[in-house]
């Protein structure tokens, strides 16, 4: 037995309290030391994940921290890279009208250059400029909004007034989106519209295409006019269904447009002589010729007047859904005082741009260009939009001598752009805050999108992200190479008026990309 504890209990209790206090103080001291040492160790270390400031967009989780990846270039590596690229660039497959630029994506330092300031026809790589201007004007998280509104009250099942569809320039708006909007009207109890059905496409002015586009292209969906309100990419779908021994059936979507059809069903091995043309007065589509017997076939044609066509289609879809329309279909600006009945928001702009790059979608590009113009001036006409885009380029240090633009998609042969201008746009895109590294906006060469046809070495597959372009006499490819050791490179290859065949040009470009990926 502890006699000291038994004989002097008060003294023992005081000793035990003092011991406990010392232990607590020691624990606090050790914890403080641990925190201090941790703070010193991480004071200058980069954060593994950028921290969001209060109120930052929920999707903007990653910015440009990944640009710090990779080692610095040594003089020896720079010399080896220059030698490898110079050997390919000197090949006779590349004419004098060739522009080449390679940059370090991390700091924009020039790694290789040939005629980088020579303005050439870019083809669809001009979409890189369109995307950069759109991100600058709108932001990667921007969404387009389309709305149905009215100036009258709902009395029972009747909308006592006009119905307007207000266009916000959404390049992805579909006829199915409108059908969902009509369903919302039905859920609100609307069974009759007492007034007219109007479409407000005033945001971009008149529905026009660039006057420099080839006239023969205008009938196809990939050359549709830009409009604040266009459905299904500004095109209409024809489904031709052969019927043995009789005329083929012809269906059109979205509905509403007049079709004059005379299509014979021929034997299964007969020639297809089908033609689809707009009537000279624009009042109907003429579908004529013969089609072999077999499975239904689908064709697409551009809509010459998307705003007016959308009004016709909306009225037809309302009636097909069982909602009566007492008035007519037309185009007219919506009133300032109005009630919103339905609203549709697009995907974020960065996802729209990714789709545009993957499929080289001309309609998306022209819509984005018009929205840039609307943001700058309040009216997204072609002239206003091109002026706003040129202003953006000047702000990035690119003069009209290196970037003279006629459209947003690259269909025009009047576009003239230098490799340096495209390189600046790629550098601008690379610095945008997005959920994923911005180079992933572009499809992987040799794997997907329009650049899937590129033939890269296995070591380069999955490392090259690119946008290509081609119109008669002009070929280009530009994008990023995620190198093995030195982070991302920016590259631009532009060739006009080649003499030894485009296959030879592409093969030499692919070899350069293969070599770049190994560094």
Q: Which pLDDT belongs to residue 215?
A: 87
Give CA–CA dist 327/496, Å, rounded.
Answer: 55
Give 48 or 423, the one with higher predicted confidence.
423
Residue 498's nearest CA partner among 94, 5, 175, 70 is 94
* 3-class state of residue 434 by DSSP: strand
Domain 144-346 bears CATH identifier 3.50.80.20? yes
Q: Which pLDDT belongs to residue 106?
A: 93
Give the mean model confidence (pLDDT) for residues 170-188.
97
pTM of the model: 0.84
Q: Which pLDDT belongs to residue 427?
A: 97
Whether 464 and 449 have beta carbons less than 8 Å apart is answered as no
Report pLDDT digits (tens) over 401-449: 999 999 999 999 999 999 999 999 999 999 998 888 999 999 999 999 9
φ and ψ at residue 470, rounded to 5 degrees = -155, 125
pLDDT > 70? residue 354: yes
pLDDT-wise least confident of 146-155, 169-178, 272-281: 272-281
Q: Which pLDDT belongs to residue 279?
A: 85
Give the mean model confidence (pLDDT) for residues 76-84.
97
**Confidence class of residue 103 from pLDDT cuts 50, 70 and 90?**
very high
Give 57 or 413, the one with higher predicted confidence.
413
Give CA–CA dist 118/124, Å, rounded.
Answer: 17
Report pLDDT digits (tens) over 187-210: 999 999 999 999 999 999 999 999
- Structure letter (DSSP) for residue 50: P
pLDDT > 70? residue 47: no
pLDDT-wise least confident of 157-171, 193-207, 273-287: 273-287
pLDDT > 80? residue 121: yes
Domain-wise residue ranges, the chain = 3-34, 75-142+348-517, 144-346
Burial (Cβ within 10 Å: 0-12, 13-18, ≥19) of residue 19 = exposed
Burial (Cβ within 10 Å: 0-12, 13-18, ≥19) of residue 77 = middle
Give the helix/strand (H/E) hosting 252. strand 249-253
Whether 203 and 209 have beta carbons less than 8 Å apart is answered as no
**Confidence class of residue 336 from pLDDT cuts 50, 70 and 90?**
very high
Q: Which pLDDT belongs to residue 63?
A: 54
Report pLDDT digits (tens) over 233-259: 999 999 999 999 899 999 998 998 899
Q: Is the alpha carbon torsion for 88, 83, 125, 438 positive or negative? A: positive
Q: List, in order, residues 6 or more apart from 386 with CB less than 8 Å away.
A: 369, 373, 405, 406, 407
Question: To the nearest whole number, what is the mean pLDDT of the chain?
Answer: 89
Give the mean model confidence (pLDDT) for residues 131-140.
98
Q: Under CATH, which number does the domain 75-142+348-517 receive?
A: 3.40.710.10
pLDDT > 60? residue 42: no
- Give strand pairing partners of 100: 114, 493
Give the helix/strand (H/E) hosting 299. strand 297-302
**Confidence class of residue 9 from pLDDT cuts 50, 70 and 90?**
very low
Give 19 or 121, the one with higher predicted confidence.
121
Q: Which pLDDT belongs to residue 70?
A: 86
Residue recorded with tokens 């909602």: 323
């Amino acid at each position: 037995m502890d006699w000291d504890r038994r004989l002097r209990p008060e003294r023992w209790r005081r000793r035990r309290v003092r011991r406990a206090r010392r232990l607590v103080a020691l624990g606090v001291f050790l914890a403080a030391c641990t925190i201090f040492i941790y703070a010193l160790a991480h004071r200058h270390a980069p954060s593994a994940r950028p921290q969001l400031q209060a109120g930052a967009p929920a999707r903007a989780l990653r910015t440009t921290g990944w640009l710090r990846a990779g080692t610095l270039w040594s003089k020896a590596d720079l010399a080896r890279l220059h030698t490898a690229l110079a050997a390919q660039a000197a090949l006779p497959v590349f004419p004098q009208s060739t522009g080449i630029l390679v940059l370090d994506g991390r700091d924009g330092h020039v790694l290789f250059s040939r005629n980088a300031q020579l303005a050439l026809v870019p083809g669809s790589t001009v979409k890189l400029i369109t995307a950069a201007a759109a991100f600058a004007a709108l932001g990667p998280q921007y969404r387009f909004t389309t709305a149905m509104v009215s100036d009258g009250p709902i009395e029972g099942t009747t909308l006592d007034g006009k119905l307007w569809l207000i266009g916000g320039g959404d390049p992805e708006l579909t006829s199915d989106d409108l059908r969902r909007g009509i369903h919302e009207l039905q859920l609100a109890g609307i069974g009759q519209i007492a007034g007219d059905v109007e479409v407000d496409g005033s945001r971009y002015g008149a529905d026009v295409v660039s006057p420099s586009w080839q006239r023969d292209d205008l009938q196809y969906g990939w050359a549709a006019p830009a409009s604040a309100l266009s459905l299904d990419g500004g095109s209409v779908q024809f489904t031709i269904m052969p019927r043995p021994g009789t005329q083929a059936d012809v269906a059109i979507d979205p509905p509403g447009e007049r079709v004059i059809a005379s299509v014979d069903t021929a034997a299964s091995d007969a020639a297809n002589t089908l033609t689809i043309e707009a009537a000279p007065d624009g009042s109907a589509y003429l579908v004529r010729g013969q089609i072999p017997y077999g499975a239904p076939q689908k064709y697409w044609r551009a809509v010459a007047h998307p705003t007016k066509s959308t009004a016709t289609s909306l009225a037809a879809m309302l009636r097909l859904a069982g909602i009566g329309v007492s008035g007519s279909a037309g185009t007219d600006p919506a009133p300032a005082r109005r009630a919103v009945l339905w609203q549709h928001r697009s995907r974020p702009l960065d996802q729209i741009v990714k789709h545009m790059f993957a499929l080289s979608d001309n309609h998306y590009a022209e819509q984005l260009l018009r929205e840039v113009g609307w943001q700058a001036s309040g009216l997204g006409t072609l002239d206003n939009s091109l002026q706003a885009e040129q202003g953006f380029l000047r702000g990035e240090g690119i003069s009209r001598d290196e970037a003279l633009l006629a459209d947003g998609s690259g269909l025009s042969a009047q576009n003239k752009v230098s490799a340096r201008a495209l390189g600046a746009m790629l550098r601008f895109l690379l610095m945008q805050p997005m959920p994923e590294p911005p180079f992933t906006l572009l499809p992987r060469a040799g794997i997907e999108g329009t650049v899937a046809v590129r033939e890269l070495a296995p070591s380069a597959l999955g490392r090259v992200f690119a946008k290509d372009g081609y119109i008669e006499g002009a070929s280009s490819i530009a994008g990023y190479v995620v190198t093995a050791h030195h982070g991302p490179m920016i590259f631009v290859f532009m060739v006009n008026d080649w003499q030894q065949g485009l296959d030879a040009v592409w093969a030499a470009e692919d070899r350069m990309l293969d070599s770049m990926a190994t560094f």
